[in-house]
Amino acid sequence: MTDQPAADATARPNVARMYDYFLGGSHNFAADRAAADRVLEIFLFPETGVAAQTNRHFLRRAVRYAAAQGVRQFLDIGAGLPTQGTVHEVVRTVAPDARVVYVDYDEVAVAYARELLPDVPGTAVVQGDLRRPDDLLAHPDVRGTLDLDRPVAVLLLAVLHFVSDADDPWAAVARLRDSTVPGSHLVLSHLTLDGIAPELAERGQAIYRNSSAPLVPRTHAETLRFFTGYDLVEPGLVETTRWRPDGEPELVDSHGYAGVGVRR
């Protein structure tokens, strides 16, 4: 990174920039890389970089799926740094008129998103917090870009596992659901540590306790609850690589669940 934000914004590991590092991006700082390397070293996610790519592959498949169903509006919450195949780039190959709003609560991620994303009509970058869905949905740039009287695909990829149970992420997702019309989609991926030794899981979570957000892996049943009020499309909520594979090579178990639902 060349444009340096204030030092205090870079001293603490930041989950958006750690993820950028896992993806092989350059929008990260020493503290982000050190924390990310420690995650790799303890073998919690020996293939974390590949798992992050696997998550992005799911995003591409799911966005194209929603577009094929006729959805033309996308609300990408916890969008992160727009370094790898942004939603509007993916969707506009099949639906050139698609409108996309990128939301993140992290001011550094938002600042870089505004800098890196070209000024494309029909897209917006908004600073907003998933834990406050009403404020997020009321933002003038959300209202100015999306028509909530028409179907919207709400994208929640690799973000809900940064929201603790105490903040009731299920209520936030239900609020988003209730603010969209039937036919809207929920595209979701979520970290799980099902099958991981508890001691390794704890060591990994300890690293995130000193970062910008806690790490909250969830079980299949806990993740499935986010789809209340949605009909899950086939094959349901599954390990990320198993969601409608399109032949793109997948190298690793992603430690994630992924699914797409259609609002009833």
Ligand X SMILES: C[S@@+](CC[C@H](N)C(=O)[O-])C[C@H]1O[C@@H](n2cnc3c(N)ncnc32)[C@H](O)[C@@H]1O
User: Which residues sit at the interface with ligand X, rule CB under 6 A?
Assistant: 15-16, 19, 55-56, 59, 77-80, 104-106, 109, 129-131, 157-159, 162-163, 213
Spatial distance between the Cα atoms of 244 and 231, rounded to a whole number of angstroms: 16
CB 105, min distance to ligand X, A: 4
Q: Please list, in sequence order, all residues whose beta carbon lies within 8 angstroms of the beta carbon of residue 246, skipping any fewer than 6 positions away.
A: 61
Spatial distance between the Cα atoms of 138 and 176, rounded to a whole number of angstroms: 12
Q: Are 52 and 84 in contact (CB under 8 A)?
A: no
CB 141, min distance to ligand X, A: 15
Spatial distance between the Cα atoms of 19 and 32, rounded to a whole number of angstroms: 9
Main-chain phi, psi angles of 94, to 5 degrees = -110, -20
CB 52, min distance to ligand X, A: 7
CB 240, min distance to ligand X, A: 10
Closest CB to ligand X among residues 172, 224: 172
CB 80, min distance to ligand X, A: 3
Closest CB to ligand X among residues 137, 157: 157
CB 13, min distance to ligand X, A: 12
CB 20, min distance to ligand X, A: 8
